[in-house]
Amino acid sequence: MKTKEEVIKLREEIIRVSLELLEKGLIVRTWGNISARIDDTHYIITPSGIKYEDLEPSMLPVVCITDGSYEGEYKPSSEFLVHSAVYKSRNDAEFVIHTHQTYATIVGVLGKKRLKAEKHEKKLVFPVADYGLPGTEKLANNVKEALGRCNDTKSVIMANHGSLSFGRTGEDAVKEALSLEAAAQKYIYTVGKTEIDFGLDEGFSSYIEDGEIKYTTAQTPERIKLIHKEIYSKRPDVKYIFHNKSEAVMTISRRVNHMKPLLDDFAQIIGTGVRIPTSEVMGLQIKKNINVVFGHNDGAYCLGVNEDEAKAAAIVLDKGCIAHIAVIRYGEGKFLSYFDCLKMNRNYRKNYSKLAETVND
Ligand SMILES: [Zn+2]
């Protein structure tokens, strides 16, 4: 049993770790969640939908491991069930982090049961939990099953979603997540037969201000301006277009003509699938509720209601492209079903508009 002071320290430690994960790039925006055990049946966790930079120790709810009930003003992260699964399965888990870290997540789309690696001549095995929709009991059970297969692992990859890492302390858990990411990156570089790094490479972006299109670069070519105009006219909900010409995006646009989602965050933020024009005459594929438009050999236009959302789509697309390339070069991969994608996309849009309403209040 921890004392009151120890629990306060744990709350502060969760916030410190969340900022460290942001700084190290293992977590982007509010994606991911962090928790710490208080006793046999309770843990503290980061709340749902609040920026890590804005978190105060008192805002973290306490969740009951056995029945999922919680105490506190803020709702626990919607992904709390997988944290409960780790605490139930492992007595040595005192601190759990869940991220969508790039390379571990990508390993989880290849249909593998485990990732094997070596570190300082020590053999490491990271199990992959079977797919389950985010926030469901099914996913929590799959995590439990994966942990059961691999008794000494401190990390689990969740198929088509992300990963979990844990340890005795926050520092231990971060170390585990970093070690998983290094092993996964090495594997993806080998499997992908090239080193594609995650990152954005901005081309010509624009936004709507007072009903007019403003370009972020004065030298935006006329040809590109026409693309922006067409997108805004067909998608009146869009207020920001982020143009990404990263290596991953350019590579995928030359290789495939339809990007089906491999990852949950792609389905949520971008949509159920993106068509890529295979010739100049095919024209732009601008669709309702699909937040990416590929140009012909010209990168991808990522759409949002503001800069933040457009960049979110760009980040998720870039990771999705690397995942897609890995699947092509590995020769195997598991795509998400259309109906799962539709469900996740609808949920995301519903929650997002709710969130936007509260911000406006
Ligand atoms: Zn997640």
Domains of the chain: 4-192 (3.40.225.10), 206-360 (3.40.225.10)
- Give the Å distance between the CA of 140 and the centre of ligand 1: 12
Q: Chain-centre distance of CA 320, in angstroms? A: 10
Cα-to-centroid distance, 77 and ligand 1 (Å): 9
Q: How far is the CA of 293 from the centre of ligand 1 (A)?
A: 25
Count CB atoms within 10 A of the CB of residue 105. Answer: 27
Query: How many Å lie between the centroid of ligand 1 and the Cα of residue 84?
Result: 14
How many angstroms separate the alpha carbon of residue 110 from the centre of ligand 1? 18
> pTM here?
0.94
**How close is the Cα of 223 to the center of ligand 1, in Å?**
38
Burial 49-65 (b: 16+ CB within 10 A, else e): ebebeebeeeebbbbeb
Report the DSSP beta bridge partners of residue 324: none
Compute the distance from residue 32 Cα to the ligand 1 centre, in Å: 5
Residue 161 Cα, ligand 1 centroid: separation in angstroms? 6
Cα of 257 vs centre of ligand 1, distance in Å, is: 28
List the chain pLDDT tens, one digit each, 361 residues: 788 999 999 999 999 999 999 999 899 888 899 999 999 999 999 999 888 989 999 999 999 999 999 999 999 999 999 999 999 999 999 999 999 999 999 999 999 999 999 888 889 999 999 999 999 999 999 999 999 999 999 999 999 999 999 999 999 999 999 999 999 999 999 987 778 888 899 999 999 999 999 999 999 999 999 999 999 999 999 999 999 999 999 999 998 999 999 999 999 999 999 999 988 778 889 999 999 999 988 899 999 999 999 999 999 999 999 999 999 999 999 999 999 999 999 999 988 766 655 543 3
Q: How far is the CA of 56 from the centre of ligand 1 (A)?
A: 21
Dihedral sign (CA 303, 309, 311, 313): negative
Q: How far is the CA of 284 from the centre of ligand 1 (A)?
A: 31
CA distance 274 to 303: 13
Spatial CB neighbours of 107, under 8 Å, sequence gap ≥ 6: 115, 126, 128, 157, 184, 187, 188
Distance 275 CA to ligand 1 centre (A): 26
Q: How far is the CA of 204 from the centre of ligand 1 (A)?
A: 31
C-alpha 99 to ligand 1 mean position (Å):
6
Span from the CA of 30 to the centroid of ligand 1 (angstroms):
10
What's the CA-to-centroid distance between 225 and ligand 1, angstroms?
36
Ligand 1 centroid from CA 134, angstroms: 7
Distance separating alpha carbons of residues 254 and 257, to the nearest angstrom? 8
CA 245, distance to chain mean position in Å, is: 20
Do the bridges between strand 155-158 and strand 122-129 make them parallel or antiparallel, or are there none, so unpaired? parallel
